[in-house]
Structure 1
Amino acid sequence: MRILVPGGYGLIGSAIVSTLLAAGHEVTGLGRSVAQARLRQPRVRWLQHDLKDLVTAQAWLPLLQDIDAVINAAGVLQDGPGDDVMVTQSLAMVALFEACEQAEVERFVQISAVGADLDAATVFMRSKGMADEALLGSGLAWTILRPGLVLGAQAYGGSALLHALAGLPFVTPLPSAPPIRSVALDDVAAIARAAVEGDLPDRRIYDLVEDRAHSLEDIARHLRSRLGFPPARTLHLPLWVFRLIFRLGDAAGWLGWRPPMRTTSLHQILAGIDGDPRPLAAVTGRSLSPLPEIFNVIDGSARGRWFAHLFLLKPVIIVTLGLFWLASGLIGLSEADSALAVLTSRGFGPGAAGLAVYGGALVDVALGAAMLFRRTMPAAAIGMIGVTAAYLLAGTLFTPDLWLDPLGPFVKTLPAAVLALVALAIRDAR
């Protein structure tokens, strides 16, 4: 079959794409930025489109030529720069359903979420519910799949946050929350493939969850064990602490970042992640993988432990670098007279000294601010490394004695450059 997968490079979408390719299908992936996806999955025909530009059936129709089926795995957690939950998960999807009917697409599989409902408390769940409701009323041969907490070899979003919390030393801070039903990422991909191939009765909604619900503490404990970390005491912090942290994640979202610590995630955790596994089991004759089996596919090697340790250090590194360079530039501007005196005493003319002091301080401020934005962070990190190298080279040529200065104006710049290199190395979100 020729299958279109919107969101084909996300956590769930990439697993579905791999499963479809292994089964011999021709896959077309669609997303807002597909450059890395083309490198990772060169067998896929990738289409680069923003869903906000695909809110009419007429916009979708050219993309559905020669397409037999669609598996929709596109989604965003919260509004932010470039992200509109209602457009992505409702308006664009309703237009896609209409276009699929006009193009006579054979099957449509919708990856929704347990808890999706028109009256849900979050925009994320309401938008999913609106799309599901529209699909129910369409003439397509549809299947709606609603996964619980998705866990797999890859970690992104909520699963990445769980890895990070499990990797903390001594204690695991968790909110008090209702039990959670999980599902293996591989099971989601396998069921999506079965649905699109017609192996499941269509025009039905299936919850993709394990038979037994587990507490958040149990999940974290199993994950710590799988990663090879020693047991840790669960620390139930007051809810206001988590609300504050997740609101900071919301703020990061407006800088272009997509942290899992956002209020939509917290609300879902506090509301519980549940579902009914029986309808799916009734047609497949089996249950989905239980939690111990799910954890068997999680990377328990050094690579997995590195990820767990570095995930929460990443925002710390980025904020530290941003504030360090901002402070450096602002202090340079406020203490410009002292810096000018040092340079003029070493033979610099007033013009050259002023250019070096004021220009350097403004560059520091610009790099510090750019580090805090997701889109400009890589360029800022490269700029920090380059400016540090130029600073040390010029300093060595004109003021070499400062290498031995007890305050270490040269030596102290080296750790900041190394930290910028680390930020570059861990810049990818998935």
Structure 2
Amino acid sequence: MNVLVLGGYGLIGEAVLERLLQDGHHLLGLGRDIGQARRRRPRVQWIAADMSRLLSAADWIPLLAGVEVVVNAAGALQDGPRDQLDAIHRRSVAALIAACEQVGVNQLVQISAIGADLASDSAFFRTKAEGDRAVASSSLNWTILRPGLVIAPAAYGGTALLRALAAAPAVVPAVLVDRLIQTVSVTDVAEAVSRAVAGRLARGQIIDLVEQRAKPLADVLLEFRAWLGLPKAPVVTVPAIVGRLASGIADGLGALGWRSPLRSAALAALKHGVTGNAKAWTEITGRPPQSLEATLAAMPAHVQERWFARLWLLKPVVFAVLSMFWLASGIVGFIRQDAAADILASRGLSPALALWMVLAGSVADILVGAAVLVRWLARAGLMAMTAITLVYLGAATVLAPDIWLDPLGPLVKTVPALCLVLVALAILEER
């Protein structure tokens, strides 16, 4: 069958694509940024589209040509510059359903979330529930799957945070360590989608996909630490005020395009726990979804997982340090412009040219220092930092090679700063 998977390169969507390809279906994947997905999954026909802009049946109809089944694995955690929850979870889904009904696509698999509730005070869970309601009230052959905390070989958002906290040195810090969590392997989610697409699930079911036994967050973190092969360490409860402060900072960064799992929406979801009922799936398959222990055992961790876990929490530190360094450099240049210009003038430049170069350099430093704080400008900012640093080192070598031997090392110290820029470029990607 021709199956369209929305959010096809996400944590769940990619696993669904792989399973459906194995089942022999022809796959179409839809997402906003499909360049990397097209290179990684060339067997899939990719469609570049933003669901938050597909808000009428007319928007969807051209994308449904030849499609027999739609799988919706798209979603967002919190409103931001690129994410509008109501548009993605409700309005776009309602428009998709209307388009399916008009063109004769009669099967829809909706991947929702445990905790979806029309009465929820969380915009994420409320809009998810509104999308589910639109699906359930349609004339389509529908299935709604509600997975718990999805564990996969890949790690984005909350699952990346779990790995990072589990890899902390000496102790494992966390808020709300007593909250109950039920995980589910992404392979079990893909299996459920496979059965729904093949018509091996009864029509009109809402199915929780969770392991049978809930565990406190503290136990989940310790399972991940053992999986990473790290020495045992105690879980230390972080005061709630620290969690609220971190989520406030993360919300602020969200306005700059960074999609941190520390945002307030994630904290609110954790506060209520991540739990469901494994009974329906157990009755369908004769077994519950596999436990966290079994999930982790099926994907052994190696050095790359430890690298990722340790670097993940350092990533915001790297970007903050680079931003402060370059902003401070530019501000100091403005404050001490005459002194800086005198240094250049003493090397043979005219006073006017020396002053112009200092001011231009200060402006450039401030611009790139601010740019790396904005997600969609970060790569350009880091590339500019690299170029500016190389020009600075080259010009200084030509004009004042003796500075390389200065006991305070103004040029020598620039080299490790450049290396940190290269590290930031290497870890910039989020998925």
The TM-score range, normalised by the shorter chain, is over 0.9
Are the aligned partners of 1:152 and 1:297 in contact in 2 as well (CA < 8 Å)? no
Question: What is the identity, as a one-letter code, of the residue corresponding to 1:300?
Answer: A
Cross-structure match for 2:194: 193
- What letter matches 1:110 in structure 2? Q
Which residue does the alignment assign to 1:253? 254
Which position in structure 2 is the counterpart of 1:42?
42
Question: What letter corresponds to residue 127 of structure 1 in structure 2?
Answer: T
Residues of 2 paired with 1:399 and 1:36: CA distance? 44
Q: Which amino acid aligns with 2:230?
A: F
SS at match of 1:138: coil
How far has the Cα of 1:88 moved from its partner? Answer: 0.6
Q: Is the 8 A contact 2:173 2:235 kept in 1?
A: yes
* Aligned counterparts of 2:134 and 2:183: Cα–Cα separation in 1: 27
Q: Which runs of 4+ in 1 moved over 4 A?
A: none
Percent identity among equivalent residues?
A: 45
CA contact (8 A) 2:53 2:87 kept: no
Q: Which amino acid aligns with 2:248?
A: R
Aligned counterparts, 1:49-128, within 5 A: 49-128=49-128
Taking the aligned partners of 2:300 and 2:420, their CA distance within structure 1 comes to 26
Contact 1:145/1:208, CA 8 A, preserved across alignment: yes
Q: Output aligned runs, 1:330-341, within 5 Å.
A: 330-341=331-342
The number of residue pairs the alignment matches comes to: 430
Cα deviation, 1:304-339, whole Å, max 9, x if unaligned, reads: 000000001111101110111011011111110101
In structure 1, distance between residues paired with 2:341 and 2:106: 73
* Alignment partner, residue 364 of structure 2: 363
Residue equivalent to 1:415: 416
Distance 2:298 2:261 in 1: 22
Letter in 1 for 2:125: M
Alignment partner, residue 224 of structure 1: 225
- Structure 1 counterpart of 2:68, which letter? D
Query: Residues 401 and 371 from structure 1, CA distance in 2 versus in 1: closer, same or farther, beyond 3 angstroms?
Result: same
Q: Secondary structure at the match of 1:356?
A: helix
Q: Could you tell me whether the CA contact under 8 Å between 1:110 and 1:145 is conserved in 2? A: yes
Amino acid at match of 2:337: A
Specify the alignment match of 1:131 in structure 2: 131
Give the match's secondary structure for 1:97. helix
Q: Tell me whether 1:288 sits opposite 2:289 in the alignment.
A: yes
Comparing 400-409 and 30-39, the one that deviates more: 400-409
Q: Helix, strand or coil for the counterpart of 1:286?
A: coil
Matching residue of 1:400: 401
Q: Aligned-pair distance for 1:190?
A: 1.1
Q: Which runs of 5+ in 2 are unaligned?
A: none
Q: Secondary structure at the match of 2:173?
A: strand
SS at match of 2:376: coil
Q: Which residue of 2 aligns with 1:314?
A: 315
* SS across alignment from 1:328: helix
Superposed counterparts of 1:1-16, under 5 Å: 1-16=1-16
Q: For 1:296 and 1:246, locate their aligned partners in 2 and report how far apart those are by CA, in whole Å.
A: 32
Structure 2 residue matching 1:240: 3-state secondary structure: helix
SS, match of residue 375 in structure 1: helix
What is the one-letter code of the residue matched to 1:261?
Answer: L
**How far apart, CA to CA, are the structure 2 residues paired with 1:286 and 1:91?**
36
SS at 1:42's partner residue?
coil
Per-residue deviation at 1:376? 1.3
Whole-angstrom CA distance in 2 between matches of 1:327 and 1:377: 18
| Distance apart, 1:283 and its partner CA | 1.7
- In structure 2, what is the Cα distance between the partners aligned to 1:387 and 1:59? 44
Work out whether residues 52 and 88 of structure 1, in 8 Å CA contact, stay in contact via their aligned partners in 2: yes
Displacement, 1:106? 3.0
Between the aligned partners of 1:344 and 1:218, the Cα distance in structure 2 is: 64
Distance between the aligned counterparts of 1:269 and 1:82, measured in 2? 23
Q: Contact conserved, 1:246 with 1:261, CA < 8 A, in 2?
A: yes
- Is the alpha carbon distance of 1:299 and 1:248 closer, same or farther for their aligned partners in structure 2, counting shifts above 3 Å? farther
* Structure 1 residue runs without a partner (length 5+): none
1:208 maps to 2:197: no
1:148 pairs with 2:122: no
1:244 paired with 2:264, answer no
RMSD between aligned alpha carbons? 1.0
- Find the aligned partners of 1:84 and 1:74 in 2 and give their Cα distance: 12
SS of the equivalent of 1:75 reads coil
TM superposition shift of 1:174: 1.4
Distance in 2, matches of 1:232 and 1:270, equals 24
TM-score, normalised to structure 2, is: 0.98
Q: Deviations over 1:31-79 (max 9, x none)?
A: 1111111111111111111112210111101111100000001101111
CA deviations 1:77-127 (Å, max 9, x no partner) are 111112101101110011111111112113100000011011112100000
Aligned equivalents of 1:85, 1:23: Cα separation in 2: 32
Equivalent AA in structure 2 for residue 41 of structure 1? R
* 1:428 partnered with 2:429: yes
When normalised by structure 1's length, the TM-score is 0.98
Are the counterparts in 1 of residues 11 and 152 from structure 2 also a CA contact under 8 Å?
A: no
> Offset of 1:299 from its aligned partner?
4.4
Measured in 1, the distance between the counterparts of 2:74 and 2:101 equals 19
1:153 and 1:299 in contact (8 A); partners too? no
Query: 1:178, CA displacement in angstroms?
Result: 2.1
CA-CA distance at 1:373 after TM superposition: 1.0
What is the alpha-carbon distance in structure 1 between the residues aligned to residue 242 and residue 168 of structure 2?
Answer: 17
Distance in 2 (CA, whole Å) between partners of 1:53 and 1:273 is 30
Q: In structure 2, what is the Cα distance between the partners aligned to 1:283 and 1:347?
A: 82
